[in-house]
Structure 1
Amino acid sequence: MISSTERLNIEEFQNDLINWFKAEQRDLPWRKDQDPYKVWVSEIMLQQTRVDTVIPYFNRFIEKFPTIEKLAEADEESVLKAWEGLGYYSRVRNLQSAVREVHETYNGTVPDTPEEIKTLKGVGPYTAGAILSIAYGVPEPAVDGNVMRVLSRILTIWDDIAKASSRKVFEEAVRQIISHDNPSFFNQALMELGALICTPTSPSCLLCPVREHCNGFMEGVQNQLPVKTKKKSTRHVELVAVILKNTEGKYLIHKRPEQGLLANLWEFPNVEKSNLIKPKNIIQDYLKNDFDITIQIDKESITNIQHVFSHLTWDIEVYTGKIIGQVKEENNMKLVTEEELLSYAFPVSHQKMWKGYQSILVK
């Protein structure tokens, strides 16, 4: 590891990288200023999500919650609704929890030391390093997948980036080569290089501003790096769901548990399929046995939805139907009008169900 950085002319590398970033950086809304709160929100949104997807969400979120105080005082339902569609909802719950701590403990000012900022919920080493370096100019590493890929090639680091232990290797590398004069641009430039030039497959080496510093390119091994073991195969789950309406034109929605996947989001009633029972019967039995709700389901399903998580795939067969009799509404089971329904936060898969249902109504 030390030998890799020793082969690097660090000062020239820093200059070439930062000058490229100054000239070529993308015009992104969170780069308009160095507001620590905005940097924080953007970094949480960007985890496991593409930049192009994040931009409109970021703009809407900041318009709705422009300050730490506004987000700290917001109710969870409105925060989840603003996040709806981004996925990984624990991110925004942790963000709001941490923002409340900043509001109460730090008088609304995001901490500017590694020791304090890392105590905030959901703020790991990467997010801490990104906020500290970008917003406060503190020379802390911000090592994500992009940065590990870039540095594995430049410094020919052969550690498996899929292993948690490898992050320490890359953090130490950044500490050795980071610009202390401009850590903000240095870290952002590494991320930008990974996003635009040093891509996972077919890196654009001939366009790279630091090609002459890249050991991987010089040795012709850039396509072999980074080393990354494959993830375990995803689990497939088959579900049956139903969009139900009562005689007053209200729809039945259900709130997911407070813990676990998609916690506290709303959804249409659904249950895992069984090889022994027909899909229509299993959803009828589920609602009758668990909620004492009697339903009548239409003959044919209206659509099939597939939704892929990082570790799981849902295949959902969707029906429509009507409610027979009364529904005892509880905190986790509600009847809502179409207008009210639109104010609740739903997972992407259930938004797709609703769109499929709406398209049928239009016909």
Structure 2
Amino acid sequence: MIKGLHHAGLSVADIERAIGFYKTAQAFEVISRFQVPNRADLRTMMAVDDSACEVALLRGPTGFLELFQFANPLAPDGPPEVYRAGLRHICIQAVDGDRLYDDFVGAGAKSHARPSGLGTGNLYCYIRDPEDNILELEGLPYAASVTSPPWFAHVALVTPDIKRLSAFYTLVTGAPVHSSGHFGPESKYDVVAGLENIVFDGAWVKAGPLTLEFWQYHQPQTQSRPFANASQYGWSHFALEVDDLDGEYQRLLAAGVHFHSAPMSNGAVRFVYGRDPDGNIFELLQVLPGHEHLSLDQVPGKDLPAEIDRLVAQFYRSRALGQSN
């Protein structure tokens, strides 16, 4: 069974600077740092020419962030525009979106616009970290009862074929597409994206408590991209925690999913890297006994996503009542 979205992986040029940035507003804290050697089985698993890297694992209220500084990284294959295919951003939420924005900009983020509304009750903006990677910040003013530090909410994949990619992840997670829509052209979307006259489709799949988000842009059009490389600067992969790695591996292998190798262990988790139809890297991992602090079962805000879902439903019910009166 898929427990949920465990972490997003980010390949960086300066791991110390990245750690400092992602600790902003107590969004994440470092719980582990280690070196990965350059070894044949690891090169095969990661599909890289040189697996040597330093890794920092950061934990937030609802999930994890994994930072990699490779000894021999690859340069990006182009600017990380919001409409380019690939793992494009992660989302961090907080009650006060304006304060969250100010905190991250104060920590060195770049921005083209302050948080603004899209008619959902949330405030949205895109920012870029000091190495130009995109983050989405969301403010949830209707969740005023929540006292948590900012929390990880979703990863977003941009694709040239949203139906194919969302169907693939319904297979992986066992969860259906629970929402979808067509958006734009409308100025409120342009403000958030920092583009003009954008038109795009969106879809959402639950990966445990957190969410996989999919976008396909029609204006400007999302194009296919080369297969992702884990050592290339930027958002490199994301991981799903499972309770039976061998079972999930065999299930997906039988369904035709491509994996780099058979599962392996690093002593704390067993894991395997695979590819989706767009060539993005996803990981399945199972936490081993004695390392339960690495599991979603023990993140401090494991019940927070359900509470947010409850508050969202309550907000929409109250708004519907207000509109009907």
Larger RCO, structures 1/2 (Cα 8 Å, 6+ apart)? 2
Q: Please classify the TM superposition score into its range, dividing by the shorter chain length.
A: under 0.3
Q: Which has the higher helix share?
A: 1
Bigger radius of gyration among the two? 1
Structure 1 length normalisation: TM-score? 0.23
Structure with the higher strand share, 1 or 2: 2
